[in-house]
């Protein structure tokens, strides 16, 4: 158990609404990540953080923003949700060597 929780675990929303997903860790790791998983694509990196208020973009960052005001929390915001953002979102931490340990995931459906 990597001490990572995600909330909510499931969410259904409508196109055009903002959505925020939360990732919380209990182990005080510096690095945190957001990925999305879609059939046929594996996992793709959205954004990552290397410390409080330090974030950078990943491969599929368009339409997403992130914030990290505390070490333990990393928030992912969909500014105006679209159907193409229907996905399973995984948060991860990395204690060493870029090895990722994943949270339980959030299943997001945008209607």
Nearer to other proteins, 15 or 28 (CB): 28
x-marked contacts with other proteins along 82-101 as a string, rule CB under 8 A: --------x---x--xxxxx
In the complex, what is the shortest distance from the CB of residue 29 to other proteins, in angstroms, rounded to a whole number?
10
Can you tell me whether residue 40 is helix, strand or coil?
coil
In the complex, what is the shortest distance from the CB of residue 25 to other proteins, in angstroms, rounded to a whole number?
14
Indicate whether 31 belongs to the interface with other proteins (CB under 8 A). Answer: yes
Q: CA torsion sign, 103 to 109 to 7 to 71? A: positive
Residue identified by tokens 């368009």 is: 62
Name every residue whose Cβ is closer than 8 Å to that of residue 80 and which is 6 or more positions away in sequence. Answer: 16, 17, 18, 63
Helix runs in 44-96, H state only: none
Q: In the numeric block, which tokens belong to residue 42?
A: 């594996």
Candidate residues 43, 52, 67, 109; the one interacting with other proteins per rule CB under 8 A = 43
Query: Residues in the site for other proteins, rule: CB under 8 A?
Result: 30-31, 33, 35, 40-45, 48, 50, 56, 58-59, 90, 94, 97-105
């Amino acid at each position: 158990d990597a001490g990572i929780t995600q909330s909510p675990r499931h969410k259904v929303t409508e196109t055009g609404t903002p959505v925020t997903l939360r990732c919380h860790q209990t182990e005080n790791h510096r690095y945190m990540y957001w990925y999305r998983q879609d059939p046929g694509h594996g996992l793709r990196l959205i954004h990552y953080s290397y410390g409080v208020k330090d974030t950078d973009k990943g491969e599929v960052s368009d339409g997403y923003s992130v914030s990290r005001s505390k070490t333990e929390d990393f928030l992912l915001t969909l500014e105006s949700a679209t159907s193409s953002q229907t996905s399973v979102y995984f948060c991860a931490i990395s204690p060493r060597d870029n090895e990722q340990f994943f949270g339980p995931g959030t299943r997001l459906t945008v209607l």
